[in-house]
Each structure stands twice: as structure tokens, then as C-alpha cells.
Structure 1
Amino acid sequence: MSRLLYRLGHGAAAHPWRTLSAWLLTAAAVVGLSVAVGGTPQDDYNVTEARAQVGIEMLRDHLIGAGNTFARVVVHDRAGEAPSPKVLDDLAGRLRAMPHVVQVSPPQVSGDGDTALVGVTYDVPVTDPDLMGNLTPLERAVAPVRTAGLQVELGGEVPEQAAAPMRGQGEVIGVVAALLILVLAFGSVVSAGLPIAVALGGLAVGSAGVTLLAATMDVSTAAPMVATMVGLGVGIDYALLLVTRHVEYLRAGHSVPDAAGRAVATAGRSVVFASSTVLVSLMGLRLAGLPVYSSFGFATAIAVVSVMAAALTLVPALCRFAGLRLLPRRVRKARAQGGVPLTARWAAKVGRRPLPWAVAATVLMLGLAVPALDMRTWPQDPSSQSTELTTRRAYDLVAAEYGAGANGPLTVVADRRDVTDARVESIRAALLGRDDIVAVTPTVTSPDGALAVFDAVPAYGPTDERTGGLVSDVRASLPGGVEVTGTTAFFSDIADLLAGRLWLVIAFVVALSVVLLAMVFRSVVIPVKAAVMNLLSIAAAYGVMVVVFQWGWGTELLGLDHPLAVSSWVPILMFAILFGLSMDYEVFLLSRIREDWERTGDAHGSVVRGLSATGRVISSAAAIMVAVFLGFATEVDVVVKMLGVGMAVAILLDATVVRMVLVPATMSLLGRWNWWVPAWLDRVLPTVRAEVTDADLPATARAADVPSLPEPERVPVGAR
């Protein structure tokens, strides 16, 4: 592979205009194809493994509109007067005239009379393209009521899917922060701008690829956001690694094409295997049991492959255009940089007393992870959103006027072939007699007489920690042929399902990653240790997320007004993405350490020199990733906030505590045992190497027009 990658990098740099033209033509073709035949992201909320889905299907089969989506219009008079009946009648007429509406319920007036709740039932699921993300018909219908001076807020599934659109500020913040970090780290505007340009180019093709994916399968409307978040971060990281290695070869006096070829053959090989670990982790999302996670995995994989391809081809071409301008001015003037790199001094310091450093770092990570034991998950709910959203204001109005449980009633569906009407009424009476049920609606029979349906209103809101137990208790008290469904029951099922599947995803991703690393580094200790450390950093991120969101220690800083449960969607998605990203840094660092180890046989010195060679690029890459993720934490949607905060914390801990303390400390403790592998396993495992030495590359002559530049000072093992 090394010679193939060398030819790819050297050829791209030797013929930059051809490479750029080929890339632009490919990008134009992919984008054009996506415009012509691409699909539109559309969620699939059917979860066959959720018990509530049984009741939903029963409703869909026998009640027109039931089991599909709905909306709520909450009309409130701030002066405390009752809304005019004529205003409400006119509103109902406009609501009935909207597309796909099959029923508008009579206004349900609050006890004090100043609020009316109007339900709207549709004949299609919320994922229908006519409804998904489209609030315009509802806004037009309620506009005259607002003009009349009444407060109108929108709730229910349709508004919830449209009320908190992505603003796109996360990408802007991430790109600007990345540029500043790279300028400060490398002292060259060209070196700073090149990785960002490459990442954005690859991400553009990846986004078009996601659109093409949407033409072949249901792709969640949130999948492009996740793909962008990850693609932007890893794209900059991959390009940055290649540019850094290219600059090293330039400083050693190689010609620009030769430096580009060597950079792609060495660092590019690390990029290939690092991206492979990300793809392995993303494929684990399919085991989560929900279709939405499969679309997350495929969409993000497309973005990762696109930015990887851009890094391997565009970086050498753009490096040819940049020439020696990639070097800081002081290096171009042939002034050597004296002194020992900070990362080398730090690695030597940790290596001198590895045990105390390892213990201290482990205690810190475990301490941060402890709050994760208290994690409570629940799917996204309007009560967790910002008060600037109409869905949150509608939720609060309903809770204040009708009771907290009115936002999440339990729908009881009875098959009349299995349960008599008398039995249904006895079930209603039993539920009404419970302390945790405050109201039960009259029974409704389906037009074909097959079903008996009624709602039970809990005494507390859907996100209350007692809700899951309530759903389980009610189900346990019901006979066969009777199901509990509705949004609250459905969310409870999803929370339980994802909590159980998390361990399956973890086992799959960890096992495959360990095997892949064992193949790459010919070691048993290295991959197991890497997996444990990655699990530790992710657990610590979970713990911080619990403290910030569930315990409420940082909600105000994020624009939230109260503590809330961790979204059920977040832990699995975070794990799959973060494990792959952490393995990126592991491959980048260990490939350089192993390269030095194979050349010198010095177990301790290779750690110091490897960390010295990669410390700056890994730290800069991690800082960029943290900035990108924190940029997404500024979005309105609370799930995006959780993903942004959780992944930023994990990357920060991984790049500091893990890479700068635990890795050098444990490798110093283990010495030669780091590279131990049983002979039988060494024979069985395919031979794969993440990085190669210059001896593996074709011999090339230094270009005559390239000035001799000072080589970076060799880092002594005992550096202080």
C-alpha cells in the first residue's frame, strides 16, 4: 500500500491542475446527480421492537387518522377572559381546510376558562414530506387568532419536528475557531487554511452523497447534521496530519512532489486506517435496533470517506501550489528553532515517574465517570427545549392549565374480540382509582366496532422519572388483547430498548476495533489498553453530561432553564462516533511510536520521540474538534446541544489526560511488553501496518531548486 499511496501523492503534487480538475469534475458529477435523482431526508419512526407499536398499528387499521400524526393549538387569553367562541369556530374551520387533516376536535376549555386546547389529527405520519418540518399551514391558520390579541402556541408532533431548525452557526463557529487555532499553532496562514479548504471540499461531496443515499433509503432529517459535525472535524484532522508530515519532509530538504508523496505514503496510511476505525464504529449503530441509527451510520460514513479521499488527493495538489509558503517565515529564512519541544519534555517528565501519573489520571477519569451511574435517559421532549420555541410554551401552558400529565396521556387500545365492553369499563375504573392517574376519558369505539379506545392522564409529566414505572405497571395490570400506546408509552419503550442495546453496540465496536489495532500494531497489549482508555474517556464524558444536563449544573450557560434527562438518542450515537475518533488519535500517535521503536528498539525513547513528533498536531486537531463540537452546542435543539457538549468533553479528555498522561505513563511502565504478541496469534493475524519508514519508499532525488533547510532538532530521551 505504501508505494501505491506514494505514487498517488507524488502524482497529485506533480500534476496539481490535473488533480484539481479531476476532483472538481467528480464533485460536479456527484452534486449534479444528487440534484437530479437525490432524495429528501425523511425519518422513519416505526419501531417494531417497541411494544407501543402494536397499539399504534391497531389504531391505524381501524381508526381513520389514529396512529398517525397530530398537532395541538393552544389558545390563551393573557387577560384571563374566555376566548371568543366565534374566534375558535373560525380557527377550527381553517384547521380543517389544511392538507391531510381528517379531524379537528372540539375546543377543550381549561377549568378557569381562559385557555382552549384544539386537537388536529392527520391522515399520514409526521414523516410525510408534506408535513415534516413544514409549519406554514398551521401558522397561517392561527395568524388571525394572534391578530385578535390572543396568545397562540403550537404543540404536538408536527410542530415539534419543525420548531427548532438547525441554524448552521455550528459549522461557522467551528471553521472560524479551526482557522485561528491552526494559525496560532503553525505560524502560517497557508498551512492553516489548506486543511480547512480540503475538509470543506470533501464535505461538499459527502453532503451530495447523503442526498443520493436518501434516494435509496429513509435517511433521518438529523443525519446530515451528524454527518457534517463528524465530517468537518475528521476532515480537518486528516488534512492537518498530511500537511504536518509534508512540512516535515520539506524541512528535511525534499522537493515538494517528493515530500507530498512521502507524506501520503506515511501519514496517509495512518489516515486510511484511522478512518477505517471510524467506519467500524459507525457500522455498530445498526445494532441499536432503530432505523434512524442506521441512517446516522451510513450518512456519517459517506462524509468520512469523502473527506478522507479529499485529504489524500487534494492535500498534495494544494501543497504543490503552496510550495514553501507552508513553512513559517522563520523556517523559510533557514533559522533553526532551538530548544526541545514542549511535548517531548512533558513525555520525558511523565516517563520518569509513570506510576503516580497513571494513578492520578485514572482517578481523575473515574471520578468524572461516576455521575454516569446516575444517568437517566428519555427521548427528546418539548419540555426540555428552550422557552423561545412555541412548542415549549405550548407544553408549559398545557401543564399549567390542564395538569402536567395532559402533555403525555396513555392511550389504552382494546380489541373487542378479546375483551368485552364490561371488562373495558372495569379497566377504566381501575385506572381512575390509581393515585398516579388523575383522569380517564370516555371510551370511544372505532367505526368498524373492532376497537375500544380511551386515554388515561398521568399525575405527572412525560419526562418524570416515575413515568417508565407507570407504563410498566399499567401494562402488567391489563389482560391480553389490551395495549398501552401513545407518545409517552412509545418513548418509554424506546428508552428501555436503547438502554439495553447500548451494551451490544459497545461490545461490537470494541471487539472489532481491538482486532483491527492488533493487526496494525502486532500487539495484544496496545489494542486492549487503547480500548480501555477510550471507554474511560467516553464514560467520563457521560458523567460530565449528567452533571451538566441532568443535575443542572450548566443548563443556564446553554440557554436551558431547568435540569433534564439525557436524551435516549445520545449515548449510543456518542459512543459510536467518539470511539472511532479516539482511535484516530491512537493510530496517529502509536504509528509514530512504533516506527521509532522498530528503528531503534528503544521502548522508552520511542514514546518520548513519538509524542514529540505528533503532540502538536494531535493537540491542534483535538482543539479543532472541540471547537467544532462546542459550535454545535450553540444550536437551539437540546439533543444537538448534548451531542456537542458530550463529544467536546470526550475529545478534550482524550487529547489531554489520555494521550498526554495515560499513554506515555502506561507505555513507560510496560516497556517492551507494549509490543508483545503470542507467536500463534502473530501467524494468524494478517500483516497490516499503519505507517511505514522512508526505507519502504522509492528512492527519489532532491530537487535542485529546493534550498537546504535545517532539520528539526532530535529529541533526547532524557529531555527536561
Structure 2
Amino acid sequence: MASLLYRLGRFVFRRRWSVVLMWVAVLGGVVTAGLLAPSAPADSSSIPGAEFSRANSLIQQDFHTATGGASAQIVFIAPDGQKITTAHYEKVMDEVVAAAAKSPQVTSSDTPLQTGQFSKDGTVAIGDINYSVKNDDLTAETTSTLQSAIQIGRDAGLTVEVGGDALSPAASDTALIFSLVAAGIILLVTLGSLAAAGMPLLTAIAGVGLSVFGIMALSKPLGLSSTTLELALMLGLAVGIDYALFIVSRYREERARGREPQEAAGAAVGTAGSAVVFAGMTVIIALAGLSVVGITSVTKMGLAAAATIAVSVLVALTLVPALLGLWPRAVLPRSLRKASGSGSPLTAAQKDKANLGSRWAAFVLRRPLPLLLFGVIGLGALALPAAHMRLGEAGNAILPTSSTERRAYDEISRAFGPGYNGQLAVIVTADGAVDPKAAATQVADKIRATPGVVEVAAPQFDQAGDAAIISVVPASAPDAAETTTLVDTIRAQRPAVQAQTGTTYLVTGLTAANIDIAAKVSSALVPYLLTVVGLAFLLLLVVFRSVLVPLKATLGFLLSVFASLGALTAVFQWGWLAGLFGVPATGPLQPMLPIMLVGISFGLAMDYEVFLVSRIHEAHSRGEQARDAVVSGFRHSSRVVVAAALIMISVFFGFLTNTNIVIKEIGFGLAVAVLLDAFVVRMTLVPAVLALLGKAAWWRPNWLERVLPRLDIEGRSLEKQLAADAPQPEPEKRSDAAHAVGGAPTIEGEPAAHGSVPGE
């Protein structure tokens, strides 16, 4: 692999203008296609075979009602001491609903008088507006019409709030701007060159643009939602910057060793590029593996994110060396530019001097056991809240109180009860009953007698008269454990009801759907986690040809992922430091979050494992003692790994500003996972374990040595090839030249080639 990528890097470097123009043309075409494509569909969490999915299919089939469009619950609150049921206010409410319904995107509208949605004390009423498109596709005219209609009620003295999602704010660019600025600062501090800092940003933006606009172009035919776009943006930006950073850093290192620019680009792509390919493959496999969960939206998000990672890898391997060909000296640090300009590469002493990374590794090696115990105990303590993690959907209850959606939710809960915001829909199929209407009424009576039910509406039949929808209001809130118990109870009594009435029914509604999704995710989490851990072990076994190194890596991943789940539970469910992280209200974690977090954080954890341990393995394979190899590996890779981790953390934390709670929680979870995995597991526990194991860390049985393939992602064979291909000057001349330049650096005992390319 290293030799193949080396040739690719040299080829791209030579054909830099052609490659850059090709990427510009491809990006322009994809952007154009994305801008002209129809908008993405509404988010869907359907699960083939799940009860709520089957029930929704029946609703569309029997009642010809489409689901997924935006909705607005217009909540009217009478002034203190007055009733909303007076003739004056009833007229005002009719005017408001009629004004809101003037938009061509409205499919249905109902006044409180039509629906009968009045509180028992007569102070609150609800009108409903339904739209043909999701909230992201509502035109400015539609939302303006709704807001103008609301103002009519407010001018008449009523308090009017709007629930549902029609007025949900669109995602802002704050996260993207914050991420780019933070990444730019970190790159500039790390690399010390505007060109070197700008190149990873430029290539990452190109890769993200290609991925995002590609998803936009395919969103309609493939059903890719807006959440998929947000996830692709988040991951593409983070890994795109990191992958480019690793190759640019290795290029600078190869130039410091005296290589010509073209050779340095080839060597960088052959060595760091091999690690990029392997790391990208682990992320792609983990994300694509989300399809086994069986949740349509998770599958689509996983596959789209995997495609984004593939694009990032391709950009790093081709566009980055092409840009290095355009600016071969601009990306170098100032000291190396001066040395290169004078014809004197950096000396071995300059390149191998101690830095913060090697000093940290030496610190860990002096006291490995205490640091290992401290890290494991600390991560274990952070993981404890995960044992109390609840999955569910709290809806508008977790929005800030400054939003009209949250105020509408609270008013409905106060006036109608907490369960009114999470009504269940029972779909009765009565075609096997002698009297379908009487049978459906019996079903309603049976459900009404179930503990935990406060209200059951009369059955609403379809045109054929053999199917009915029964609305059920629980006594508890949508995200309460009691509501889950109620849904399970209603479903459990189905056989008895069917035997009595000759009917059958299915329970759906947003609350029931979230319960089904949470149950599906909970049942799939452990098998998926075991699959991911097993995959990690096998992949690292092949890469490092060691038994204990992969075992250490997978155990470290488990520690970091459970600790990040514990932090999520503490902040988003318990409310610890919620204000600091911009969490307006607590509630259960989003049902899809744990499975997404495991898949994504696995790939990112393997990134740092590969980039860090591969340099340690490279030093060890050259004959360095085990402890010296750790220090050497940290000297060459820790600075870049730290910068890459900080960039990812800043990108993920930037998405805490997103209004989408799924993206907010994923951003926080991934930021914490990267923080813990990079700085606690990889930078502390890894050297501590390697110090304690010594040579045994690289042990493998003989039979395993024979069957394992040789990937050589460190580029050991490539360096031997380069050394063999290097020109061999006369010994006495080499000695004189070496003394003339103060000791030219060597590679594997061979003289380093150095020079320049045209235009450097």
C-alpha cells in the first residue's frame, strides 16, 4: 500500500494543475446539482416491521393521510379572570385560524370550536394548522402569514403561542463559523505558517462541499434528511482537516530530512497517507455498519456519513499533494524554509531534539502504574451515570423558555395535562367484526378503563367504515417511564380485546414511535458494540501484528465511549453544567444517540490509535528499545495528534449551538469522546501500558505471524526502497560533503536526497 500511495503522491505532485482543475470542475458540477435539486425530505425514523411503522402505513392506506408535514398548534390563552369561551374570543380565534390558513402550503385547518380543544377551566383553547411540507421548506410568506395571524389574537388581548414545528428556527451557520475559526487558530499555532494552516482548511472545505452538495443532490431520490446533511458537515469538516494535517505534517518532516519536494510529497502520501486510508476505512466500516441496526434514518445517516469520510480520504490523497506541488516551500516552517533556501537541511540534532510530546511520554514512562490507575478510575467514574441513561423524545419540552414552542408546550401541559402533548393514536381494524362501529367503540371503552389513561376520543372511521382512529391521552408526559408502561399495557391486552370484539389494533403516534425506536436501539446497542470492538481488535491485529496492542486499544475505546455516554447523561438528562453547555432543559437522551455515538467515536478513536502507535511501532521496528520507541513515537506524532484532536473537539463543540437536539447531543458526545480518548486514553494510558508491557507489547504467536497479511502502513518497505534507489556517491566524497554541510541527515543508514523542483 505504501509504495502504491507513494507513486500516487509523486504523480499528483507532477500533474498538480490538472488535478486541481479536475477537483474544481467536479466540485462546481456537484454544487450546481445540489443547488438545483429538490429539497431533502422530512426526517424519518421508520423501522420495517415495527408497530408504529405498520400503523402509519395503515393510516396512509385507509385514511389517505400523509405524514411528515409541518404543523402548528395555535394555543389561545385568555386574560386573567376571563374565559376563552366567550363569543368575542371565539370570533377572534376563528379569525386567527382563517388568516393562518391563507397560505397555499396549508393542507387543513381547524378552529378550537371544530376540534373541541378547550381546557376544563375554559381559559385555554387549541387550533390546528397542518402543512404539506416540512418546516424547513415552509416559505417565508407562509411563516409570515402565520405570524401575522398570531398578532391578530394578541392585538385582541389574548396570549397566543404556537406549538408544533412550523416556526422552528432554521439551523444557523454559527457552528460552521466557530469551527473554522477555531481550527484555523489551532493549525496556525501548530504549524506556524499561514499556508500550512490554510491548506487543511481549504481541502476540508472542498471535501465537505462535495459531500454536502452531493447529499443535497441525492436527498430526494434517496430520502436523505436535513439531519444527514448536518452530520455529514460535522464529520467531513473534522476528519477532512485532520487527514490533510497528517499529510502536510509528514511532508514537512520529509523535507526536514532533506528530500526533494516531489519525493517528500510521495513519501508523505505513502506513509501518512497509508495511515489515513486505514483510519478512514475504520470510520467507514463503523458508519456503514449502522445499517444492521434496522432503523431507516440511522442507516441513511450512517451510509451518507461513510461516503463523506471516503471523499475526505480521497481529497487528502490527491488534492493535498497537488496543492503541495503549487506551494512546496510556503507550507514549511520558517527555520526549514531558511535551511532549504541555503541548501542546508536541518541537522539530526535539530530534528530529534526533545519537545513537549517526548517530555510528556518520558513523564508517563517514569510513573506508568499510578497514571494508568488514575486514568482508568477517572474514566470509570465518568461512565457511572450511563447506567441510569434513559432514551426517549421530549419534543418541545427541552426547548428554551424563550421560544414560543416551549411556552405553548408548557401551557398545554398546564391546561390539559402532561399527556396531552404526547397523545397516542390507536388504529383499529374492524373488517372482521359483525358491527365494526360497535366493535371499535368496545375497543375505546377497554382502553379508557386502562390505568394511566385520562381521556379517549370517539373513534373516527375511514370512508369504508371498517377502520378507525382512536386518540388516547395518557396521564403522564411523553418522555415519562409511566407512558412507556402504558403503551406496553395497551399492546399487551390486544389478544384479549381481539377475542372479545373480533378486531385488532396498532398503537402509534410520536410518543409510541419514540418508545419503539428506543427499544430497538437498546436491543441493538450491545450487539453492535461487540461487533465494533471485535472489528477494532481484528483491524489493529493486522496493522500492528501484535495481540496485546489491539486488546489495549479496544479496552481503551470502551472506557472512553462509556465515559462519554456518562457525561451525556449527566449534562442532558440530569442537568449538570447544563447552563455552561447551552442545554435549556433536561430530558431523556435521543433514542438514536448511543448507537450513533458508538459507531462514530469508534472510527475517530482508531484514527488516533493508528497515527500515534504506528510511529511508535515504526521506531520499534527500526531497532529502538520499547521505552525509547514510545518516546520517539511521541516526539514525531504527539504534536500533530494533539492538534488534530483539538480541531475535532472544537468542531464538535461548535455544533452545540445547533437548534436540532440530535445534532447538539451528538456534537457534545463526540467532543467529549475525542477529548477523553485522545488525551486520557491515547496520550496517557497507551504509553503507560506500553511501558509496563515492554517488549511483550509486540508479542505474537508464530502461527499468527504466518497467517497475518503485511500492510506496512508505516512505510518501512517504502523507506528501504527509497534508500536503495538513492544515488550512491563515492565514500570519500560523501564524507567531505557531509562535513561541508555539517552532517547531512540519513534514512536507514543511506544519504538523503535533497534539492528543489521548478518553481520552488
Q: TM-score, normalised by structure 2?
A: 0.86
Residue 61 (1) aligns with residue 29 (2)? no
2:674 is aligned with what amino acid?
Answer: I
Q: Structure 1 pair 96/322, CA: closer, same or farther in 2 (3 Å)?
A: closer
* Deviations 1:428-472, CA, capped at 9 Å, x for gaps: 445444552222222333332112432221112101232211211
Contact 1:280-1:509 at 8 Å conserved across structures: no
Alpha-carbon distance in structure 2 between the residues aligned to 1:131 and 1:204: 20
| Unaligned runs of at least 5 residues, structure 2 | 340-345, 499-503, 729-739, 748-760
Distance 1:55 1:314, change over 3 A: closer
Q: Which of these two proteins has the greater Rg computed from alpha carbons? A: 2
- 1:239 equivalent in structure 2: 244
Q: 1:605 to 1:78 in 2, by over 3 A?
A: farther
2:527 equivalent among 499, 504, 522: 504
Query: Are 2:162 and 1:154 aligned?
Result: yes
Structure 2 counterpart of 1:118, from 108, 124, 127: 127
Task: Indicate the residue corresponding to 1:395 in structure 2.
Answer: 409
Per the alignment, residue 717 of structure 1 pairs with none
C-alpha contact 2:74 2:160 (8 A) present in aligned 1: yes
Matched, 1:253 2:269: no
Report what 1:104 is aligned to. Answer: 110
Q: Deviations over 1:7-29 (max 9, x none)?
A: 22223333432332232223234
| Contact in 2 for aligned 1:331/1:709 (Cα 8 Å) | no
SS in 1 for 2:431: coil
**Conserved? CA contact 1:12–1:19, under 8 Å:** yes
The answer for the alignment partner of 2:391 in structure 1 is 377
Aligned length: 703
Q: How big is the shift at 1:79?
A: 2.5
**Which sits farther off after the overlay, 307-316 or 693-702?**
693-702
Q: Structure 1 length as normaliser, TM-score?
A: 0.91
Q: Pick from 415, 418, 427: which aligns with 1:413?
A: 427
What is the SS of the residue equivalent to 2:71?
strand
1:398 Cα deviation from its structure 2 partner: 1.0
Superposition map of 1:207-606 within 5 A: 207-214=212-219, 216-334=221-339, 336=350, 340-379=354-393, 381-418=395-432, 424-478=440-494, 479-480=497-498, 481-600=504-623, 602-606=625-629
Asked if residue 180 in structure 1 is aligned to residue 185 in structure 2, the reply is: yes
Deviation at residue 712 of structure 1 after TM alignment: 9.8
How far off its partner does 1:483 sit?
A: 2.3
Checking the alignment, whether the CA contact within 8 Å between 1:191 and 1:326 is kept in structure 2 is yes
Query: How has the CA–CA distance of structure 1 residues 55 and 78 changed in structure 2, closer, same or farther, with 3 Å as cutoff?
Result: same
Is the aligned partner of 1:695 residue 2:701? no
- Structure 1 unmatched ranges of 5 or more: 715-720
Do 1:378 and 1:566's aligned partners in 2 also have CA atoms closer than 8 Å? yes
Q: Kindly tell me: are residues 226 and 34 of structure 1, through their superposed partners in 2, closer, same or farther at Cα, counting changes over 3 Å? A: same
Provide, for residues 582-604 of structure 1, a one-character-per-residue CA deviation record: whole Å limited to 9, x for no partner: 10111111211111111115222
Q: CA deviation at 1:377?
A: 0.7
Partner Cα distance (1:85, 1:523) in 2: 76
Structure 1 contact 355–665 (Cα < 8 Å) conserved: yes
Contact 2:626 2:695 survives alignment (8 Å)? yes
Question: SS of the residue aligned with 2:454?
Answer: strand
Could you tell me how far 1:490 is from its partner in structure 2?
A: 1.4
Cα gap change, 1:367/1:356 in structure 2, threshold over 3 Å: closer, same or farther? same
> Structure 1 215/63 Cα, relative in aligned 2: closer, same or farther at 3 Å?
closer
2: CA distance between counterparts of 1:383 and 1:299? Answer: 30
The SS at the match of 1:564 is coil
1:155 maps to a residue whose letter is G
Distance, in Å, in 2 between the alignment partners of 1:4 and 1:390 is: 58
Q: Which segment drifts farther, 627-636 or 322-331?
A: 322-331
Paired amino acid for 1:11: F
Q: CA deviation at 1:163?
A: 0.9
- Aligned amino acid, residue 696 of structure 1: Q
Q: Secondary structure at the match of 1:559?
A: coil
Query: Aligned-pair distance for 1:305?
Result: 1.6
Contact 1:74–1:398 (Cα < 8 Å) also in 2: no
In the TM superposition, what is the alpha-carbon distance from 1:301 to its structure 2 partner? 1.7
On the 8 A contact 2:33/2:214 being kept in 1, the answer is no
Contact 1:198 1:311 in 2 (8 A): yes
| Superposed displacement of residue 278, structure 1 | 0.7
Query: Which position in structure 2 is the counterpart of 1:13?
Result: 13
**One-letter code of the match for 2:175?**
G
Matched residues in 1 for 2:746 and 2:364: separation?
A: 21
2:700 is matched with 677
**Equivalent of 1:163, from 168, 176, 185?**
168
Residue number among 670, 674, 691 corresponding to 1:668 in the alignment: 691
- Percentage of identical aligned residues: 34
Looking at structure 2, the residues matched to 131 and 178 of structure 1 have their Cα atoms a distance apart, in angstroms, of 29
Structure 1 residues 182-241: Cα deviation after superposition (integer angstroms, max 9, x where no partner): 222222222211111111112112223223433541112210110110110111111111
